[in-house]
Amino acid sequence: MGILDDIPKKTQYVVLVAVVIVLLIISIMTYYKQKRISRNTKHIDDIINKILDTQEKILE
């Protein structure tokens, strides 16, 4: 592997595990952020629907 031959095997594994953990944390955070955003947009949709329903009742 050229460059990696100078670095001890143990250090390579530690770095690899650290990178995997960081990627995992980032993906979990992104997932929850998306979930929160979709919940907020659903809430906004409900409000818009209520406003539209009220407008229809007023127009009748």
CA atoms within 13 A on the CB side of 59: 6
Indicate whether 1 pLDDT > 60.
no
Pairwise CA distance, residues 30 & 36, whole Å: 10
Quick one: average pLDDT of 20-39? 88
How confident is the model at residue 28, as a pLDDT?
92
Pairwise CA distance, residues 1 & 24, whole Å: 26
Closest CA to 12 of 4, 21, 20: 4
